[in-house]
């Protein structure tokens, strides 16, 4: 049975507290180490049955203890095993010392290892809690292993990878496979950590679910299980207005492509009606390219005020291809009580007056979703973008709290964050989404979900997930048009 624990992302410090809580509950911590090490050995034998030699690299902490248990289990299975240890073996203590003594091996110094063809390295040097730059001795070995193309099976995380931020601390192994225990860290999913981990396996070593639930926090992987129950469902007696009316603002006649992609994707995502509001001079272009979409003239703020008199016009997408930054600012000032996706030019319009935007968002009764890519994020949140101590998740959480909007911080590891602290990391986006117009399609999907009545955070999370699914469906070499046509509603 699926539970939220399958999607939790727990920082290394939280995992340490969970281990401590397990110990206080009466579970011997060495038993957890034994199960972890046995799981590592089983994974190594399952995935590398033809290897000539397993080389277990151990550190002085509990990660090294897992490595010593794995070395013993591999040797007992008949495999050839050698162990190398980083640092003074005399400093090993606690359960890790017990694991060494029970292993029956005499570890060699780390710098005595020369990678050979036929080796498989089991990396148990540093665990997820590493917070300092890796020592030069390990950097040299990482480079040698990578140059020799020796496969690496990492325990918990590839050594050198920060479990909180997903970045290399000076250097990191690039693992072919990683095995971790009970729950994943943010560093397993954030880039470049996700690539450095390779194929990821999560093994249950017996910590009760109640302990994980008590420490679960507010960060998880983006998955329908997390948000599906919050989505509105169309009943038998629904009609087009109940399915939501989304207004997409267009740029001038020579720049209508973005709004067209946004409108099309909104229709495909389930909006009942989509209207493109455009300068009068752009209507002819729009009329011959959009058939299921209504087009209305909207040249200025007065036109928008008239449009807003109809209460059915409750959801909007502003920014894709809009062009006129000053007009974007005026339009945002009128939309504070609506459900709004701000993207592209609507974000850039406030780069010098972020407080004006945030005040408008927080002072109204509307629901706002901001969808910046890396550069746009830096325009609104320059201090956060430049802060190398924060993870992408933490940056998005602070930005959401500061702005009062749901943040979709786009990228290969898109983070969706709510002002209340919830955050999701998306993992289903194929590389083919890196194409012009992809963000316009995403804005339309999220806008459609807002129009249908979904809460802002869930609309953003569902939209990002549907965007990834559409990318898979459209395949390599797709265009934004292909992507928009591949969008399907959830459920």
399-444 pLDDT, tens digit per residue, is 999 999 999 999 999 999 999 999 999 999 999 999 999 999 999 9
For residue 398, pLDDT beyond 60: yes
Percent of the chain predicted with pLDDT > 90: 92
| Residue 271 forms part of a structural domain | yes
What is the domain-level CATH number for residue 385?
A: 3.40.1190.20
Cα(441)–Cα(135) distance, integer angstroms? 45
Peptide bond into 481 cis (omega under 30): no
Residues in the chain: 491
Evaluate whether 378 touches 399 at the Cβ level (below 8 Å).
no
490 within a domain of the structure (yes/no): no
Backbone torsions φ then ψ of 94, nearest 5 degrees: 60, -140
Q: Are residues 183 and 241 in the same domain?
A: no
| Residue 97, domain member (yes or no) | yes
Same domain flag for 316 and 410 = yes
Among 217, 247, 281, give the residue marking a domain's end. Answer: 217
User: Which of 167, 189, 217 marks a domain boundary?
Assistant: 217
199 three-class SS: strand
* Count of the separate structural domains present in the chain: 2
pLDDT in tens, 105-140: 999 999 999 999 999 999 999 988 888 999 999 999
> Is residue 236 assigned to a domain?
yes
Considering the domain architecture, whether residues 241 and 95 belong to the same structural domain is answered as no
Q: How confident is the model at residue 91 (pLDDT cuts 50, 70, 90)?
A: confident
**Digit-coded pLDDT (tens) for 434-472:** 999 999 999 999 999 999 999 999 999 999 999 999 999
Do 190 and 262 fall within a single domain? no
Q: Are residues 212 and 321 in the same domain?
A: no
State residue 62's pLDDT score: 95
Are residue 273 and residue 374 in the same domain, yes or no? yes
**Distance of alpha carbon 144 from alpha carbon 245, whole angstroms:** 59
Does one domain contain both 261 and 368?
yes
444 and 345 within one domain: yes
- Do 196 and 272 lie in one domain? The reply is no
On whether the CB atoms of residues 130 and 168 are closer than 8 A, the answer is: no
For 278-337, write each residue's pLDDT tens digit: 999 999 999 888 888 999 999 999 999 999 999 999 999 999 999 999 999 999 999 999
Asked if residue 234 has pLDDT above 70, the reply is no
CATH number of 59's domain: 3.40.50.10260
Give me the chain's average pLDDT, please. 95
476 shares a domain with 355: yes
Mark which of 217, 237, 259 sits at the end of a domain: 217
Q: Based on the domain organization, do 211 and 258 belong to the same domain?
A: no
Mean pLDDT of 31-44: 98
Which domain does 412 fall in, by range?
224-485
pTM score, two decimals?
Answer: 0.95
Phi first, then psi: what are they for 77, rounded to 5°?
-80, -10
Q: Where are the beta strands (DSSP E) in 172-213?
A: 177-181, 199-203
47-64: buried (b, 16+ CB within 10 Å) or exposed (e) per residue? bbeebeebbbbbbbbbbb
pLDDT at 289: 85
**Same-domain pairing of 183 and 242:** no
Q: Report yes or no on 491 lying in a domain.
A: no
Residue with tokens 């949140």: 381
């Amino acid at each position: 049975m699926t539970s939220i624990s399958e999607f939790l992302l727990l920082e290394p410090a939280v995992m340490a507290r969970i281990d401590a809580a397990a110990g206080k509950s009466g579970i011997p911590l060495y038993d957890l180490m034994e199960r972890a090490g046995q799981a590592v050995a089983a994974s190594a034998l399952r995935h590398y049955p033809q290897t000539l030699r397993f080389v277990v690299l151990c550190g002085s902490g509990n990660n090294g203890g897992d490595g010593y248990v794995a070395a013993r289990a591999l040797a007992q299975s008949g495999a050839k095993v050698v162990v190398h240890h980083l640092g003074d073996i005399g400093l090993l203590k606690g359960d890790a010392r017990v694991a060494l003594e029970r292993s029956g091996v005499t570890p060699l110094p780390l710098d005595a290892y020369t990678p050979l063809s036929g080796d498989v390295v089991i990396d148990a040097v540093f665990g997820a809690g590493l917070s300092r730059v890796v020592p030069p001795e390990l950097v040299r070995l990482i480079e040698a292993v990578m140059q020799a193309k020796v496969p690496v099976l990492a325990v918990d995380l590839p050594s050198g990878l920060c479990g909180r931020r997903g970045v290399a601390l000076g250097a990191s192994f690039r693992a072919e496979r990683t095995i971790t225990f009970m729950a994943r860290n943010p560093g397993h999913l954030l880039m470049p950590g996700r690539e450095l981990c390779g194929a990821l396996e999560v093994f249950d070593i017996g910590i009760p679910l109640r302990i994980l639930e008590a420490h679960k926090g507010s960060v998880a992987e983006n998955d329908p299980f997390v948000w599906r129950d919050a989505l509105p469902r169309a009943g038998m007696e629904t009609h087009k207005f109940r399915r939501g009316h989304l207004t997409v603002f267009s740029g001038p006649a020579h720049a209508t492509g973005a709004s067209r992609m946004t409108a099309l994707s909104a229709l495909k995502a389930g909006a009942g009606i989509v209207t493109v509001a455009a300068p009068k001079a752009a209507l002819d272009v729009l009329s011959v390219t959009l058939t299921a979409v209504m087009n209305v003239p909207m040249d200025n703020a007065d036109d928008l005020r008239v449009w807003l008199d109809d209460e059915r016009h409750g959801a909007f997408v502003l920014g894709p291809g809009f062009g006129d930054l000053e007009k974007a600012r005026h339009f945002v000032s009128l939309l504070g009580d609506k459900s709004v996706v701000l993207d592209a030019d609507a974000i850039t319009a406030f780069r010098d007056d972020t407080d004006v935007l945030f005040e408008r968002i927080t002072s109204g009764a509307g629901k706002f979703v901001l969808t910046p890519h890396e550069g746009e994020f830096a325009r609104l949140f320059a201090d956060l973008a430049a802060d190398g101590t924060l993870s992408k998740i933490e940056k998005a959480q602070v930005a959401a709290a500061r702005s009062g909007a749901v943040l979709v911080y786009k990228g290969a590891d898109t983070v969706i964050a709510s002002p209340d602290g919830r955050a999701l990391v998306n993992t289903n986006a194929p590389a083919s989404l890196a194409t012009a117009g992809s963000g316009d399609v995403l804005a339309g999907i999220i806008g459609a979900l807002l129009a249908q009545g979904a809460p802002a955070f869930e609309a953003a999370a569902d939209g990002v997930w549907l965007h990834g699914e559409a990318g898979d469906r459209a395949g390599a070499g797709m265009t934004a048009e292909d992507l928009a046509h591949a969008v399907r509603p959830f459920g």
